[in-house]
Amino acid sequence: MSFEKLGIIKPLLSAIRDLGYETPTTVQTRAIPLVLAKSDIFATAQTGTGKTAAFGLPLLQRLRNPIEGKGVRVVILSPTRELSIQIYEDLESYAKNMKVKIMILVGGKDLEKQKQKLKEGVEIVIATPGRLMEHTESGLSLKDVEAFVLDEADRMLDMGFTKDIRKIHPLLPKRHQTLLFSATYSEKVRKLSKLVLTKPAFIETAKKNTTVDTN
């Protein structure tokens, strides 16, 4: 398999070539066509499997033509500031030949400065659930969101973000794509997946000690 065969466009191909990615990983091979086709996904994938590019590349590809006057089009939720920064840096390096604007919203940074930057136009937001809630409560609209990503969903739930995610979900437009990534398949994750996913495709790339029940 190759990234070309998966349908990845040239500006992204040349960026990942510069990073030394030659062959797509399992989760990338399975997820990329599904994300491009706008399907919902439930993926059990741990850090190290290449999951960031599995959702990042096809979502960037879908945003390749900026639409004038649109608000935030992709929201990526992650449990921690550190993981958010990691995702941001990866996406910035994939998008280096594109014009997509990406912003990170985590605590500990000036809320007013973040608000100002959002007003100037941002297509992808990477956030921890608490900080995203602060922004939506003070006026950030999620009405143009086309794709919603929950990265390390199990960790987010274990860290107590269930309430925030349940509050954020109704702010998204009725029709949107949701991609849920989790290292494990716990009862809490299963419950959340019932709430946020519509007819998802299941992708399993977990290690031996985790199980997936797709019934």
25 near ligand AMP, rule: CB under 6 A: yes
Which residue, 12 or 133, is less far from ligand AMP as judged by CB? 12
With CB under 6 A as the contact rule, the residue among 52, 78, 114, 177 that binds ligand AMP is 52
Residue 24 near ligand AMP by CB under 6 A: yes
Q: Are strands 201-204 and 74-77 parallel, antiparallel or unpaired?
A: unpaired
**Is residue 14 near ligand AMP by the rule CB under 6 A?**
no
What three-state secondary structure class fits 131? helix
Q: How many residues bind ligand AMP (CB under 6 A)?
A: 12
Q: Which residues contact 153 (CB under 8 A, 6 or more apart)?
A: 180, 181, 182, 189, 192, 193
Residue 162 CB, shortest distance to ligand AMP, in Å, is 24
Cα–Cα distance between 19 and 16 in angstroms, integer? 5
Of 26 and 162, which CB lies nearer to ligand AMP in the complex structure?
26
CB of residue 58 vs ligand AMP: minimum separation in angstroms? 13
Smallest distance, ligand AMP to C-beta of residue 68, A: 32
Binds ligand AMP by CB under 6 A, chosen from 2, 14, 47, 198:
47
Q: What is the DSSP letter of 171?
A: G
The encoded tokens of residue 162 equal: 């269930």
Q: Is 49 an interacting residue with respect to ligand AMP (CB under 6 A)? A: yes
**Under the criterion CB under 6 A, does residue 2 sit at the interface with ligand AMP?**
no
Task: Answer for the pair 21, 2: CB distance below 8 angstroms, yes or no.
Answer: no
As a whole number of angstroms, the distance between CA 121 and CA 124 comes to 10
Does 53 sit near ligand AMP (CB under 6 A)? yes
Give least dist CB 4 to ligand AMP, A: 13
- Type of residue numbered 126: I
Phi and psi for 198 in degrees, rounded to 5?
Answer: -120, 120
Q: Is 29 in the site for ligand AMP (CB under 6 A)?
A: no
